[in-house]
Amino acid sequence: MAQRPADSVLEVARDGAIATLTLSAGDAGPCLTEALHADLARAAAGLDLDEELRVVVLRSRGDAFCHAARDDDGRGRADGVAAIAALRVPVLCLLQGDALDAGLELAMACDLRLAVPRARLGLTQLARGRLPGHGGTQRLPRLVGRARALRMLLLAEALPARAAVEIGLVSRVLAARSLWPAGARLAMELAARGPIAQRLAKEALRAAFDLPLAEGLRLEGDLYVLLQSTQDRDEGIASFHDKRRPRFVGR
């Protein structure tokens, strides 16, 4: 069931263990305004407390996925991009159109990105003498490598979706009519996985870019031991031996 207060620019819908966040198009198209930042932060705070949640899908209405607000200075009181990035569960982003500037920064805060062929992705702020303000300079090189990120930033490149796949910025390109069905199937597949293992894996991967190798390996080992004490770990082993699909309960 969808929930959207009268003054909200974000629609939150829940279907079992999957939550879908839909950006409102508005008169200027999907736009990362201060209001949207606040709505994303508020929604993420509630979702992160929900132990039944398994996956979040982020999408938007209109011809573009999202772009920056004209008055966006990167210093909003609430940072919706950071809130999405901090979610413990996998976040799937569906790009039915352009994800430029702050829009790409929001998309990069997600874990997986699917796009239609006509979508363009880029951080073009330098063409106007501005800088990304929602993590773009940090997340882009982690996704595509330092050299490619420098080229995209310094030349203000907007890549077509198929080129974005080649450098790892997008996971897959699909026809427009297939984007939502494929996204729904992928979300269901993710929701069927062991939720504790997914959350711990996401935690370890986040730390991989910030910790020295020895500390990262130590963290992985600690999380591995932590998982051994869960019911889901026992269920995974039992289902393997019984040759059936596992029934994870998140404990």
| Helices 231-242 and 195-208, axial angle in degrees (round to 10) | 110
Range from 101-105, 109-113, 221-225 carrying the lowest mean pLDDT: 221-225
pLDDT bracket for residue 210 (50, 70, 90): confident
* pLDDT given at position 138: 95
Encode pLDDT of 121-160 as tens digits.
999 999 999 999 999 999 999 999 999 999 999 999 999 9
Task: Give whole-number Cα distances, 14 to 57, 66, 180, 234, in Å.
Answer: 10, 22, 15, 29
Quick one: which H or E segment has residue 12? strand 10-15
DSSP 135: S
Encode pLDDT of 154-200 as tens digits.
999 999 999 999 999 999 999 999 999 999 999 999 998 888 888 88
Encode pLDDT of 42-60 as tens digits.
999 999 999 899 999 999 9
Q: What is the pTM of this model?
A: 0.87
Residue type, 104: L
State yes or no: pLDDT of 75 exceeds 60.
no
**What is d(CA 26, CA 196) in angstroms, rounded to the nearest whole number?**
37
CA atoms within 13 Å, Cβ hemisphere of 247:
2
* pLDDT given at position 198: 87
Q: Strand, helix or coil at 5?
A: coil
Domains and CATH numbers, the chain: 2-191 (3.90.226.10), 195-242 (1.10.12.10)
Task: Give whole-number Cα distances, 166 to 33, 147, 242, in Å.
Answer: 30, 15, 40
State yes or no: pLDDT of 248 exceeds 70.
no
